[in-house]
Amino acid sequence: MAKKFAPQQFLNRELGQLEFNHRVLAQAEDAAIPLLERLKYLCIVSSNLDEFFEIRVAGLKEQIKLGGIVTGADGMTAKQTLKLVREQAHQLIERQYQLFNADIIPALAQQGIQFLRRPDWNEAQRAWVKDFFFREVMPVLTPIGLDPAHPFPRVINKSLNFAVGLQGKDAFGRNSARAIVQAPRVVPRTILMPSEISGCEYGFVFLSSILHAHVGELFSGMEVLGCFQFRVTRNSNLFVDEEEVKNLRLSLQGELPQRHFGDAVRLEIADNCSPQIAELLLKESNLAPEDLYRVHGPVNLVRLMRIPDMVARDNLKFPAFTPGVPGVLQKKGADMFKVIRKNDVLLHHPFQSFKPVIDFIQQAASDPDVVAIKQTVYRTGADSALMEALIAASQYGKEVTVVVELMARFDEEANINWATRLEDVGAHVVYGVVGHKTHAKMLMVVRREDGKLRRYVHLGTGNYHPSTARLYTDFGLFTCNEKMCADVNEVFSQLTSLGKARELNHLWQSPFSMHVEVLRSILNETRLAKSGKRAHIIAKMNALLEPETINALYEASDAGVKVDLIVRGVCALRPGVAKLSENIRVRSVVGRFLEHSRIFYFRNNLNHDVYLSSADWMDRNFFRRIEVCFPVLEKKLKKRVIDEGLKIYLQDNCQAWDMDSEGHYRQKNPRQSTRNCAQAELLKQFTHAPAKATP
């Protein structure tokens, strides 16, 4: 049995997430990256921080409010963690805005892409802005004066708002000194001004600047003393007791609108906001001064994510590419079933196209020999060719079963809509198992061949989402291996029916066997090392947090097992500690694509076991989710996963960051050696340029 280690041997999850965002921000700072992509990275940091505050910081505040002294594996209480989070988040955001103002904006201006500031507008620009305000903005504004009849309004989560200071009396003789104006959500936050008026190729005006310039029009006869943009971030956890509700979908539909009005967790204001207004906003939001973030620029940088799509400058973006397609599938109209019967097929996204997955479902939907299709849906997007194919299959009379995860955070509404459409055409729609999110990525097709039924499956590490398949690195496997298919069928039976879990042939499954099998595999390498044999573990994932797994890795290291961990995000394990983790190396790779695949390699006395999964090594994935971990059985495909998913990333010296024992990261420096960039090499190996817009 693994011995227990002191809390000092574990790193803090929340601080680890902030460390990850420092690595993302470093991409925005890198002058070697195309300029508009640097702007995107800057926006991604803001998007990540939004979710971080909505979920992680909100959770810390809930723990503190409940009064319990609960500590994590690292031994820190919620109050201690929140204090450090506030300090480090302030530093990160300050650095982010310094980069935006001092580097990104001037660099964009040199390329003819300007954000036109209010003090610099000429007469023609002011006239254009005035016309836009009266035509597009003012008709949809509802200013709210603060007085006894108009209390402080409920400010929607992450919406752009303005606090206005006023002087004078209105038409009714009221003498209110404050008003709140919420920016209309139907108006974009950055507006492209015609080039003949802006004087540059791409001249953008912030909606906040337009409102500032004409806010006086909303308060006729009164003097505007100040107008300050602000934004409130709220707790976005959904509180649905799955065991108490009779209809999860109906309960979620009732709960979703309340997400916009959860408890406030952060207040962002313009840096010129007066102390009096800031104090009012903090009081109305029930926040402490430490929750206040003053920023020099737009309070919501996420909205600038649209800019690269509005600017037709390919030289300022990553080169376009066309994802490759395996040779066996390159023939137009290739029979997917015939190909899979011959050999398993491995796809490595985004370097290889996601289109074969769409083709597989579409062929299954229209094939008269296909009798049934079953699929899990976690995130698939509001517009999905796969879901349309499932709807068509049901309309063609096939037995279609879809396990829709309604609790997929921030995708609940899209999933509810798909569930409704599927039910409307007669598909069987189920919502998994109470208390366990269905996170496994599985697709099974049952086809009648030569008088018998044959099953085909697709298993993946990522979502059935064509858009993210161009942005995330993931693996997908097609197989008709009978034992593997039987395992997938068994998991689907658990999700749709009732009964005891049976032992599976090849798959590891959470919450039943995956944790046990991971520990067993680590222990096996430990035993091999103790017997004098070479032992090696390589694991690639998004996060490593589960304490017992970390303890097992420490023991493996102490026994002499070489452990290479490629953890994109949060890692609670401390590498390189004497007599604890001397044989463990942890690195994170942050590049053009989001590293999303989970790969587990165990040398196992030259058996070279390779598993792919949708699961990270976290408590939730092991114990509170339905997950599967599947082996790659064919030798050629196994070698591909090792080479493309692991070895090349261990050799990366451009986008890799090595972690020290304190949880800090240092980027590899290739200047003294040959450049090895994993993602660039994979693009070169599989793709073609220039690209067409293919999935």
Just list the catalytic residues. 439
Beta-strand ranges (E) seen in 1-160 are 113-115, 144-145
- Angle CA(348)–CA(351)–CA(353) in degrees, nearest 5? 75
Closest by CA to 580, choosing from 543, 548, 551, 540, is 551
Q: Which SS3 state, helix, strand or coil, does residue 487 take?
A: helix
Q: Which residue has the tokens 């909205």?
A: 303
Angle separating helix axes 207-214 and 123-132, nearest 10 degrees = 90
Label the pairing between strands 598-602 and 536-541.
Answer: antiparallel
3-class SS shares of the chain: helix, strand, coil, % to 5: 40, 25, 35
Q: Which residue has the tokens 């049952």?
A: 446
Q: Which residue has the tokens 């809390």?
A: 7
Q: Which SS3 state, helix, strand or coil, does residue 112 take?
A: coil
Calpha distance 524→422 (Å, rounded): 45
Calpha distance 40→47 (Å, rounded): 10
Q: Which SS3 state, helix, strand or coil, does residue 664 take?
A: coil
Closest by CA to 358, choosing from 321, 322, 383, is 383
Calpha distance 95→111 (Å, rounded): 23
Closest by CA to 619, choosing from 518, 691, 521, 534, is 518
Q: What is 183-226 written as a DSSP string?
A: PPTTS-SEEEEPHHHHSSSEEEEEHHHHHHHHGGGGSTTSEEEE
- Angle CA(502)–CA(504)–CA(507) in degrees, nearest 5? 135
Could you tell me if 354 and 470 are in contact, meaning their C-beta atoms sit under 8 angstroms apart?
yes
| Residues paired with residue 404 on neighbouring β-strands, in sequence order | 377
Q: Which SS3 state, helix, strand or coil, does residue 274 take?
A: coil
Calpha distance 255→259 (Å, rounded): 7
**Can you count the helices (H) and strands (E) in the chain?**
22, 27
In degrees and rounded to multiples of 5, residue 342 shows phi and psi of -75, -45
Could you tell me if 645 and 352 are in contact, meaning their C-beta atoms sit under 8 angstroms apart?
no
Closest by CA to 63, choosing from 80, 48, 50, 75, is 80
Closest by CA to 376, choosing from 296, 286, 441, is 441
Q: Which SS3 state, helix, strand or coil, does residue 446 take?
A: strand
DSSP one-letter code for 53: I
Could you tell me if 499 and 509 are in contact, meaning their C-beta atoms sit under 8 angstroms apart?
no
Calpha distance 313→368 (Å, rounded): 47
- Contacting residues for 109 by C-beta, under 8 A, at least 6 apart: 200
Q: What single letter denotes the amino acid at residue 491? A: V
Calpha distance 305→303 (Å, rounded): 5
Closest by CA to 620, choosing from 403, 409, 376, is 409
